[in-house]
Structure 1
């Protein structure tokens, strides 16, 4: 089952680089919720997720991302990541991703904090 999160993150990275609405929609169920911070109001459904993503998009090729799976509880995955912006800060990330049986995310929540120095 850990292969499911690897596949999903590979597709997430493709969408991160392309900012193509079809790539973004393909990641999420139609009624998914996406939280950019744990207590933020979520983007709900494809329309809000695509709009929110594109409003905050990164330029293609502007970031490196490394990750590892911290754990899994059924369809819920816990991912630790490092996002390194080539012309900016580096962030530590924690993602909680709930995958539907078809491999799309039903829920996505991220925590991020800028690394010192």
Structure 2
């Protein structure tokens, strides 16, 4: 496993209930600001094995990125069960729910 992948997994594991992070934000904190798509791949391939709270990771617009209706609904219901409210069908107010860890929390 690469050091970047290890950092991504650790960061995602630390996202608290009721908060979200973006793919790009995780990539930056893991040391590779342009690797948001790699974060998507890591999340997809390791969520089950490492029991990652995958539902707490969204896109930079504050939206759920899934096009598949079932996955979209699972993620939305998971976030709502943690107290996150949506604006319209798909938007989360990042100014309220974005988790911004300090260095101690991410390592």
Q: Which structure's CA Rg is the greater one? A: 1
Higher strand share: 1
- What is the TM-score with the length of structure 1 in the denominator? 0.26
- What is the TM-score with the length of structure 2 in the denominator? 0.28
Higher helix share: 2
Highest RCO, 1 vs 2 (Cα 8 Å, sep ≥ 6): 2
